[in-house]
Structure formats: structure tokens, C-alpha cells
Amino acid sequence: MYWSKYFIPTLKEAPAGTEAISHQLLLRAGLVHMLTAGVYTYLPLGYRVLKNVERVIRQEMNAAGAAELFMPCLHPLELWKQTGRDEVLKDVMIRFKDGRGREMCLGPTHEEVVTDLVKNFVQSYRQLPVILYQIQTKFRDEMRARFGIVRACEFIMKDAYSFDRDAAGLQKNYARMETAYRNIFKRLDLDVVVVAADSGAMGGKVSHEFMVPAEIGEDAVAVCGSCAFRGGASVLETAGGVCPQCGQKNLAKSPALELGHIFQLGVKYSAAQQALFLDEKGERQPIIMGCYGIGVSRVVAAIIEKHHDEKGIIWPKAAAPFDVEILTLPGPDDAEGVEPAARELYRALTEWGMDVLVDDRPDSPGRKFNDADLIGIPLRVTIGRKNMAQGQIEIKVRGTGAMVLVPQQEAGGRIKEMIAKL
RNA sequence: CGGGAAGUAGCGCAGCUGGCUAGCGCGCAACGUUCGGGACGUUGAGGUCGGGGGUUCAAAUCCCCCCUUCCCGACCA
């Protein structure tokens, strides 16, 4: 991809009224644009990041045996009345009447819809277990949207639902999902704390939240300053400031962002919606359910919150919109062949399967360097007239600042090696 | 939904105790000079001063109502 043909509207200054670092960098790096409070457009670069996060999630979900589908966001309110959640969630639900006068809502979550689906197709224990998931837009009428895409009215969520014949099956799928979640966050370089949580309006008895300590967090976790211990905020009350792992009195409360939440729902929905199956004895039983959510767009904000410096974003490899940015600094007549060298390297790297962005804009070096730092692509390859006169190309790692000069012919190979090490 | 702050060019802001043609920086367009860390010069385009009402000879500026955004709190599957 060539920058001059792409669409990356970077900003020199942070827009007024932005507080969170991730919010500022999302806007400054040209990743998102606000339409109205809590409603954002994902610009090409931000959309690439979103798709990368989704890819990681899909891979782990598929590996865990979940099947992807895609449910509607437009729901008849009638369905929600079956579980009474039209009342429970009425404050966050965006409701309206359609042209025929039917009461409708935009889905804030999908338990009712997926349960309705499954009850149509599952009649026997032989058809269980099954895990379904989707990555889809959710709508919540937040009274106070906050911190850019951290808490939005329209956002992307991965929601999975497990259906089992018994409690043992649920335990198994629950554990499987927890493992998948740990893998997902690890691959995205997010150091999550898993804590037992309240199930709230979702129902069920057991639930766990996946939290990442972050300044802008609206929840809290306990963090030990002396060892690697991290735990739920409740530890602070029970342990009274003494770390349960190392015994030091160095336990502190840290704000944290909730990125995922998994629930053992039991039969709350299946019973209310009559999602029943026949067991071996020929008796009708409600399906045992679990549900598993990840705030995909919030994960994007969390990654930025955790991976940036004063100059901009430092993308972890798995989320980065591109693997490599080639930055050209040709002279007026390009006697040194900067542009041809960039095109050749772009071709070679792309053939090797890398995603490459070439900043071919005819702008000043300062602007191009600063934009490169801002958008935070893991490797920056500078092809400039001075180094090219010596037949050399510069490669710099965004995260560490490590820089090497290599002969032009070896650049492709070196980049490949360096990418592999990230 | 309670409390606070703010809306002036695409972005960041000044002007506001009423007074000349609404200004600055960035960005944008053209030309020239530059060319490894947000270059320089010249010229130029770009505005319902958030909206409505009122006071006044005169309103970006004062008063009232509304809208929007941000922050704190309540809420948050």
C-alpha cells in the first residue's frame, strides 16, 4: 500500500476535549473518527487493526471448537419479553417502532437471539454440545460514552455461546473458553488479570472478568508492587494489603479495563425460552448455557493504552496495521534511485507475504518520521538519498529504537529476520 | 440522570467589561527555494462566531431558551 493513494489523516495536535491517551492517539494516528458521542468510524488504518484483532480472536475461537455465525442486530422486542430483559436492560436498549408499528430494538447482546436459534435446531442430547460465536456490532444507549471507543454506544463485540446437556459439559466448555481468552490476550500483548465477578444482568452464578490494569480503567484490580501478583480488587479487603503470593505489604489498587467477561449461565435463557432437548431417558431438559464476550473495539483501545510512548503508538506485531513501513527520502531528481529501490523492496516484501506501507509522500523528512512514530508500525525502513549513495538502507525497530544500516541487497532478508523476532 | 467546563475556518486557539472590514498558528492551493526529525518566502482560498429569541443606533461580545461535546459522579450485559 502506498500512503499517497491510501487514507491516513494524521493530526499534529490532539483534538480538544480528549483525555485518554488511547483516545488521542486513535484520533491523531488517523485510526478512527467520531461521528457523534460514542459513535465512531473506523478509518482504513484503524479498520486494519480491528480486523487483525478479530483474526486473532477467530483463530482461537475456531481452535476451541466454536462455530462462527452472524446474527442480526435488529431484534423484535417480543423476543426480549420472553426473558424479561426488555425491562432489565431497558436503560441501555435502543428501542423504537418500525413502519408497521412493531416494537424493535438494536441488540445490546444476543442471548435471546441465539437461544431462539438453537431451540429450533437442537432436539436431542446427541446434538450437544455446540458453541456458536459471532463478531458483530452491539448497541448500548450509554448515558455517558467515555474515552473514545473504550465505552461507546455502538461497538464491536465477539460473543460466544455454549450449549451443553449437563453441568460437566458446561464446566469443560467454560474452561476451554477461558484458555482461548488467555491465548487471545497473550497474542495481543495484553497482560490480563482474570477475576471472579458478579454476573449482573446476564444471570447465572459463576463468571470471570478479564481485566487489564490501565489508568483509564473503570474497574479495579489488586496489583502487588513487590512481585508479579495480580488479583481481583476483593483481595485488598480480605488480605488487608498483604500480598497473598509474596507476603509483602505492597498490595495496591489499580484501575483496570474490562476486556472480556465469561459467564456460566445455566438454564436462565433456555428455561425461559423453552430451549429443551431430550436426554437418554427421553426426558425433556433445558439446555445448559454459557456465554463469553470480548469487547473487540475496546481491546484496540487497550492495546494503545498499554503500548505507546510520547511519540505515538507501538503496535504489537499481531495487531499492527502493517508489518513494515518503508519511508522514502528522495532528492529532487532522485539521482540515487530512492523511489525505484522502495518499489523493488515493496514488491519483494509483499511477495513474502508481508503487509507493507510505503510513505511515498513528497513531504519533509520531519513530518514523515513523526508520522511513522505516530502510527507505530513495528519496523521502519528508511530509504534516503544519503544512505542510498552508499548503497545502504536503514531499518529501525519502533519498539526498541534499535537501528541498523544494511546493504540494499540484504535489506529484504534482514527485514524478514527482524519481523520474525518481534 | 445530577454537578462542572466548553462550542469562533479542516485542526489547535485568541478576541468577549458591546464599537471599524472577525484574527493568529497549523493544515490546504499555486509558484519558487529547500530536502534525514513536523523547512522558508510570496500569493491565495476557506467563517450561518453551535441554533433560536431578546436588549441596543450597534451583538462573537450582554440576557433567556435550546442543541452539542468533554470531565467528575450515578449507571454499565
Domain at A115, CATH number: 3.30.930.10
Q: Which of residues 261-290 of A touch strand B (CB under 7 A)?
A: 261, 263
pTM to 2 decimal places: 0.97
Looking at the structure, do residues A268 and A403 belong to the same domain, yes or no? no
Give the span between the Cα atoms of A92 and A153, in whole angstroms: 9
| Strand B contacted by A235 CB (< 7 A) | no
A32 and A143 housed in the same domain: yes
Residues of the domain holding A370:
322-421
What is the reported pLDDT for A71? 97
Residue A251 lies in a domain: no
Question: How many domains, chain A?
Answer: 2
Q: State whether the beta carbon of A309 lies below 7 angstroms from any atom of strand B.
A: no
Strands A154-164, A130-139: pairing is antiparallel
Please tell me the predicted confidence (pLDDT) of residue A88.
92
Residue nearest to nucleotide B5 (CA to C1'): A17
A268 and A359 share one domain = no
User: What is the pLDDT tens value at each position of chain A, 422 positions in all?
Assistant: 999 999 999 999 988 888 899 999 999 999 999 999 999 999 999 999 999 999 999 999 999 999 999 999 999 999 999 999 999 999 999 999 999 999 999 999 999 999 999 999 999 999 999 999 999 999 999 989 999 999 999 999 999 999 999 999 999 999 999 999 999 999 999 999 999 987 777 777 899 999 999 999 989 999 988 998 998 888 888 887 889 889 898 888 899 999 999 999 999 999 999 999 999 999 999 999 999 999 999 999 999 999 999 999 999 999 999 999 999 999 989 999 999 999 999 999 999 999 999 999 999 999 999 999 999 999 999 999 999 999 999 999 999 999 999 999 999 999 999 999 99
Q: Contact at 8 Å (CB) between A395 and A403?
A: yes
Residues A165 and A75 in one domain: yes
Secondary-structure breakdown of chain A: helix, strand, coil percentages, each rounded to the nearest 5: 35, 30, 35
The CA distance from A16 to A18, in Å, is 6
Quick check: is A245 in a domain? no
Q: How many angstroms is C1' of B31 away from CA of A319?
A: 43
A392 found inside a domain: yes
Q: What is the per-residue pLDDT for A97?
A: 92
Whether residues A417 and A297 share a domain: the answer is: no
In angstroms, how far is B51 C1' from A26 CA? 30
Prior bond to A72 cis, omega within 30?
A: no
Rounded to whole angstroms, the distance from the CA of residue A313 to the C1' of nucleotide B37 is: 17
Q: Is A107 a domain residue?
A: yes
Q: Is residue A326 part of a domain?
A: yes
Q: Are residues A84 and A129 in the same domain?
A: yes
Are A372 and A365 in contact by the 8 Å Cβ rule? The answer is no
Q: Give the pLDDT of residue A237.
A: 81
- For residues A161 and A52, state if they share a domain: yes
A42 occurs within a structural domain: yes
SS3 of residue A324 by DSSP: strand
| pLDDT for A22 | 94
Task: Check if residue A365 sits with its Cβ under 7 angstroms from strand B.
Answer: yes
Please give the pLDDT value at position A325. Answer: 98
Per-residue confidence (pLDDT) for residue A65, from 0 to 100: 97
Are A146 and A267 contained in the same domain? yes
A247 touches strand B (CB under 7 A): no
Last residue of a domain, one of A288, A309, A330: A309
Q: Which nucleotide is nearest to A388 (CA to C1')?
A: B36
CATH assignment at residue A339: 3.40.50.800
| A379 assigned to some structural domain | yes
Domain check: are A10 and A81 in the same one? yes
Asked if strand B comes closer than 7 Å to A11 Cβ, the answer is: yes
In a shared domain, residues A72 and A117: yes
Whether A332 CB is under 7 Å from strand B: yes
Q: Smallest Cα–Cα separation from A324: which of A302, A352, A300, A303?
A: A352
| Whether residue A382 sits in one domain with residue A303 | no
Asked if residue A187 is part of any domain, the answer here is yes
Radius of gyration of chain A (CA): 25
Q: Are residue A62 and residue A90 in the same domain, yes or no?
A: yes
